[in-house]
């Protein structure tokens, strides 16, 4: 049996495991009627949006990688969703 490790704490100071947090998000999204959402979908959205905006802040994808806590840029790239309109605009700029 694996030791119990809280990843965060509730307002009352109770430790919550990653499974507990995942279940909380699942129940919340289900009660709100959100389809296709998960505890991880917000993370994917944040990383994608950060990747699209990082150059405006004078940063690079390495900064997004560090914010995400990924050991490799390759892992961060797997989280970033492409955008066809942005690709067309980029080619138009060139």
pLDDT per residue, tens digit, the chain (94 aa), is 566 788 888 889 888 888 888 888 889 999 999 988 887 888 899 999 999 999 999 999 999 999 999 999 999 999 998 889 988 998 999 9
Q: Would you say residue 75 lies in a domain?
A: yes
Claim to verify: residue 28 and residue 50 sit in the same structural domain? no
According to the model, what pLDDT value does residue 85 have?
92
Cα distance between residue 61 and residue 50, in whole Å: 9
What HEC string does 31-81 produce? HHCCCCCCCCHHHHHHHHHHHHHHHHHCCCHHHHHHHHCCCCHHHHHHHCC
According to the model, what pLDDT value does residue 8 have?
85
According to the model, what pLDDT value does residue 59 have?
95
Indicate the number of domains in the chain. Answer: 2
Q: Would you say residue 2 lies in a domain?
A: yes
According to the model, what pLDDT value does residue 74 have?
95
Q: Would you say residue 89 lies in a domain?
A: no
Q: What is the DSSP letter of 4?
A: P
Q: Which residues contact 4 (CB under 8 A, 6 or more apart)?
A: 15, 17
Claim to verify: residue 2 and residue 30 sit in the same structural domain? yes
């Amino acid at each position: 049996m694996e030791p119990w490790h809280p990843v965060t704490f509730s307002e009352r100071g109770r430790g919550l495991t990653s499974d507990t947090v995942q279940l909380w998000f699942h129940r919340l999204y289900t009660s709100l009627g959100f389809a296709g959402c998960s505890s991880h979908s917000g993370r994917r959205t944040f990383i994608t949006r950060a990747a699209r905006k990082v150059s405006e802040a004078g940063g690079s994808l390495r900064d997004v990688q560090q914010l995400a806590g990924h050991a490799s840029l390759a892992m961060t790239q797997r989280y970033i969703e492409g955008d066809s309109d942005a690709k067309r605009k980029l080619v138009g700029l060139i």
